[in-house]
Amino acid sequence: MREINVACVRDAVSEMCIRINHVLSEDMQCALKNAVACEKSELGKQILSQLEENLVVAEEEMIPICQDTGMAVIFMEIGQDVHFTDGNLEDAINEGVRKGYVEGFLRKSVVDDPLIRNNTKDNTPAVIHYSVVPGNKVKITISPKGFGSENMSRVFMLKPADGIEGVKNAILTAVKDAGPNACPPMVIGVGIGGTFEKCALMAKHVLTREAGKHSDIEYVKELETEMLKKINELGIGPAGLGGNVTALAVNIETYPTHIAGLPVAINICCHVNRHISREI
């Protein structure tokens, strides 16, 4: 049994929250660079170039990449041979978020109740998802999620008879309805299968997969490629002002489901698609 002091988790979460809000992950930097080369619209190319310039300024001057520094979504993969010491794990995670957002001077966007809506003033609590895995290590993945794109996300409870064409239609419908509101070019996370909540969780989690890396399942890989092509043919373009780069990536995750259902969730993220991982 390996012991890990929860202070290690707290400090890692704090550092990660600050870093990912100032420095875009390498895969997203590469995706934006490729988008500039692929965009045929002059206005679209200009917008993408400005986004790249924004990333340089953000990193050099330690200014947030986006003014919406998001609600912290955290995936904890915990080895079953790990024992946490000297405190409560969830408290430590939220303390890390608090430290990161307060000490990093990041915008605090979380309210304590969805209807009363008093700001918590430290961006806590985070949304935390736990999974237990083999081994004695802990992997922390943080994805600060802005709500311009989050608000454009959808869940479709399809019938099995709708099949793969129904899934394709659901994805395109969600993207078309989002239009410019999700700050394109977007990254599209799709969860297929499971239950109502499982497909939504998969759609969120798969956004943390490296942009440009495909599913290991052949038909899913083909679907990702096809949907990226079809989405980019919609003509929404960078900032919604037209062009052939509406999405940078389509990431799909699947799970077994019930004989009577075909749940599909589409979680849309803006062009920064912030995600960062650390292993303890």
149: enclosing H helix or E strand = helix 147-150
Q: What pLDDT sits at residue 197? A: 98
Instruction: State the pTM of this model.
Output: 0.96
Q: Where are the beta strands (DSSP E) in the chain?
A: 2-5, 71-79, 82-85, 127-133, 138-145, 154-158, 186-194, 247-257, 262-269, 276-279
Residues 6+ away with beta carbon under 8 Å from 181: 148, 149, 151, 152, 240
Q: What pLDDT sits at residue 7? A: 98
Q: Are 193 and 256 spatial neighbours (Cβ–Cβ below 8 Å)? A: yes
In tens, the pLDDT along 241-273 reads 999 999 999 999 999 999 999 999 999 999 999
Q: Are 167 and 87 spatial neighbours (Cβ–Cβ below 8 Å)? A: no
In tens, the pLDDT along 93-112 reads 999 999 999 999 999 999 99
Q: What pLDDT sits at residue 24? A: 93
Q: Are 187 and 211 spatial neighbours (Cβ–Cβ below 8 Å)? A: yes
Q: What pLDDT sits at residue 25? A: 95
Q: Are 135 and 239 spatial neighbours (Cβ–Cβ below 8 Å)? A: no
Q: What pLDDT sits at residue 33? A: 94
What 3-state DSSP class applies to 246? Answer: coil
**Distance between start and end Cα atoms, the chain:** 14
CA distance 110 to 118: 8
CA nearest to 200, candidates 174, 178, 218, 238: 174
What percent of the chain shows pLDDT beyond 90?
Answer: 100
Q: What pLDDT sits at residue 270? A: 96
Q: What pLDDT sits at residue 56? A: 93
Q: What pLDDT sits at residue 96? A: 98
Half-sphere exposure of 15 (CA within 13 A, CB side): 10
CA distance 72 to 43: 33
Q: Outline where 23-146 has alpha helix (H).
A: 26-38, 42-61, 89-103
What percent of the chain shows pLDDT beyond 70?
Answer: 100
Quick one: DSSP state of residue 119?
B
* AA letter at 114: P
Better-scored residue on pLDDT, 247 or 212: 247
In tens, the pLDDT along 143-193 reads 999 999 999 999 999 999 999 999 999 999 999 999 999 999 999 999 999
In tens, the pLDDT along 56-93 reads 999 999 999 999 999 999 999 999 999 999 999 999 99
In tens, the pLDDT along 189-209 reads 999 999 999 999 999 999 999
